[in-house]
A and B are shown apart, each in its own frame.
Chain A
Amino acid sequence: MLKWSGVKGGVHPDTHKDRSAALKIVQASLPDCVILPLRQHAGADAIPLVKPGDSVLKGQLIAAAGTEVSAPVHASTSGRVRKIGPVQAPHPSGLAADAIVIESDGDDRWIDLDMPDDPFSQAPMELAERVARAGIVGMGGAIFPAAVKLKQGARHEIKTVLVNGSECEPYLTTDDRLMRERAEQIVDGARLIQHILRAYRIVIAIEDNKSEAIAAMRAAAEPFGAIEVEVTPTLYPMGSAKQLIQEITGHEVPAEGRSTSVGVLVHNVGTVYAIQQALRFGRPLISRVVTVAGGCIKSPRNVETVIGAPVQHLIDACGGLTDEPAQLLLGGPMMGVTLPSTQVPVIKGATGVLALQRREVSRATESPCIRCARCVQACPMGLLPLEMARRAKVDDLDGADAAGLKDCILCGSCAYVCPSHIPLVQYFQYAMGEQDARKNAARKNDYTRMLMDARNARLEKEVAAKAAAKAAKKSRASSTSESAP
């Protein structure tokens, strides 16, 4: 295929992947307690189904999906519910989020799993429903409920199931290790997704710096016809769905549209694996592989852990810290978020835990923009980051939108190359957050005005009713008095 329309822009950060990629995935021990936030996905909170004091089994449903776009939460080990309430969230603000805390009993006893029949003989929507019940979300960090994507996809003509094994973020090697060690399961999962969507073909896209993963996936895909393993150049952000679709199919996803608009559905390697586990063995999403890396980690490697284990537990599984980290991150260094402490839990979307040394993080102070346009060249979306930031700085939110804010994927390529060290992404995050806040304020304004009007109408009615009653009484009184004599 002609690659005339490959990804534009992008950057080449140091990958730092060698150490963790060289070691096999190791199973972490069971933590004393697991913390399961009610929202580990994009969408509404899950609704708890247990009370403090209840005993739960591993894999038991403990919180149900709140709305259509939501995901249920399952107990990741057996034990007793200690509390349901706010705990510090794995979020840069350090604010609290509601979670179910389970004290482990150490037995790690599974609930009886609903073992499905051969999934290929089942109706696609039935399978999508099973994925929904397993609580699977986008494991590459997008955390969008996988089943919602599958159900939406099933309503479209999907040509290609695109399995995203690019893993373009530095340090992270979970997808790499998963593909090397569990290639068959991933291929099986991809075929199940193909079955659900009735897609024509499967493409597994892997960056060219993962030769062993490419070989493993090629070998696993060999027996099946319509599976291609495509090797993409190593470029950040190749793993972004829009960029990967552009690279593989040559099409761009229309603005404000979805990948289904160009007949593609993208799932991350980890998500595909989780879907396979759910459909073949009925296992809900209660564990995942996390890369623990960074200059402060004694022996960086990939760890398979139960969801909800404290970050500290994973760090201990990798030999602990060698140094006080300058930055503690959830996810990769390009799009990951800072963690308020090591006591926060690992959630479904956690691709990595990074403890970075001072020399590994950017700390220079902001200086004025010299319009060098490196950000424009680096932007894979063709936006004008310098212009967006300039507008955001003076709160010209509409101007920022016009300069491209509404198409921004927050990949950070611009800030990565900025010689003036302008925190461009933070300006964008600020502007987006401010837009949301204003929308919310306006919505609340409308809501309270509606309440006001309703109240006034009610009061008027009451007054009118009172007046009417009075008038009626009066007329009755006058009529009786008239008829009295």
Chain B
Amino acid sequence: MLMATLMLGGLGIALGLLLGVAARVFAVEGENPLVKQIESLMPGSQCGQCGFPGCSAAATALVEGEAAINCCPPGGRALVEQLATLLGVSADSAGAAPVPMVASINEAECTGCTRCYRACPTDAVVGANGQIHVILQAACTGCAKCAEACPENCVSLHPEPITLDTWHWSKPQAA
């Protein structure tokens, strides 16, 4: 009886010590490396469409489970997949992937005030003072900062148009 108590007690203390040492030796320094990894995947345009102040904050929120993996429209389906793999969740867990949006300028109303192109984080707006501005669709992340900046309300956002180059077969409707 005594022997058994001593043995179990000894075992408990030894293992406890081992765990304590391991916690010290293998402690993760500083911030979660996952945050950095996720941040490097994100578009980095700090557009704020996710509701967090910038991509870094969104990455932290994602790791902490406060943001859904489909929170980033510019990242599209590809980002959702990558995040799902990294965070070990199913890609469909957050519902449908966001549709990437692009902005365009209604040329009839543009006064060429240059506010939108100063607001654009990716330099996707081309134009000069007093000239009509144009948005390069290939460089637009759909962050809507230009729409907020436009005094004429002539910037509109719409889903990326489907062309022959981007169209592909949809999944068959399963029976």
Contact = CB atoms under 8 A, between A and B. Distances in A.
A and B touch in the complex (CB under 8 A): yes
Given A93-B167, A95-B162, A451 B78 contact: no
A149 interface: no
Given A367-B175, A395-B91, A441-B79, A451 B169 contact: no
A423 B164 contact: no
A447 B122 CA distance: 9
Contacts of A440: 166
A326 to B, nearest CB: 19
Interface stretch (B6-14, B19-27, B69-77): B69-77
Nearest to A438: B78
A445 interface: yes
Interface string A363-378: 0011110000000000
A423 B169 CA distance: 12
Nearest to B141: A448
Interface in A422-477: 423, 426-427, 429-430, 432-434, 436-442, 444-445, 447-449, 451-455
A452 B75 CA distance: 15
Contacts of A433: 167-169
B74 A445 contact: yes
B157 interface: no
Contacts of B164: 89, 91, 93, 95-97
Contact of B175 (A365, A430, A437, A451): A365
Interface in B135-175: 138-139, 141, 162-164, 166-172, 174-175
A441 B101 CA distance: 12
Contacts of A451: 122-124, 139
Q: Which 7 A-B pairs have the closest CB atoms?
A: A433-B168, A429-B169, A438-B78, A441-B78, A451-B122, A441-B76, A366-B175
Given A437-B77, A441-B79, A452 B167 contact: no
B122 A448 contact: yes
Interface string B23-47: 0000000000000000000011110
Nearest to B165: A440
A393 interface: yes
A149 B141 CA distance: 38
| B46, B78, B174 pick with most chain A CB within 10 angstroms | B78
Contacts of A89: 164
B100 interface: yes
Q: Is the interface of A mostly helix, strand, loop or mixed?
A: helix
19 contacts: A93-B162, A93-B164, A93-B167, A365-B175, A366-B175, A395-B91, A423-B172, A427-B172, A438-B77, A441-B78, A447-B139, A448-B122, A448-B141, A449-B44, A449-B45, A451-B124, A452-B45, A454-B123, A455-B123
Contacts, number: 94
A270 to B, nearest CB: 24
Contacts of B112: none
A445 B168 contact: no
B43 A448 contact: yes
Contacts of A437: 77-78, 166, 168
B74 A434 contact: no
A445 B81 CA distance: 14
B48 interface: no
A445 B79 CA distance: 9
B121 interface: yes
A429 B168 CA distance: 7
A457 to B, nearest CB: 11
Contact of B139 (A368, A432, A448): A448
Interface in A83-97: 89, 91, 93, 95-97
Interface in A79-126: 89, 91, 93, 95-97
Contacts of A427: 171-172
Given A95-B162, A442-B78, A445-B79, A426 B122 contact: no
Given A91-B164, A441-B100, A448 B45 contact: yes
Contact of A441 (B75, B124, B172): B75
Contacts of B172: 366, 423, 426-427, 430
B168 A432 contact: yes
A95 B163 contact: yes
Interface in B33-71: 43-46
Contacts of B163: 95
Interface in A198-236: none
Contact of A434 (B75, B123, B168): B168
Contacts of B77: 434, 437-438, 441
Nearest to A435: B168
A445 B175 contact: no
Interface string A277-304: 0000000000000000000000000000
Interface in A24-44: none
A334 B81 CA distance: 33
Contacts of B100: 441
Given A95-B167, A439-B78, A449-B43, 18 more contacts: A91-B167, A97-B164, A367-B175, A395-B92, A423-B172, A426-B171, A427-B171, A430-B169, A430-B172, A433-B167, A436-B168, A437-B77, A438-B77, A441-B75, A444-B138, A445-B43, A453-B44, A454-B123
A440 B60 CA distance: 26
Contacts of A447: 138-139
Nearest to B81: A438
Nearest to B92: A395
A429 B121 CA distance: 35
Nearest to B46: A452
A97 B92 CA distance: 34
Given A91-B164, A430-B171, A445 B78 contact: yes
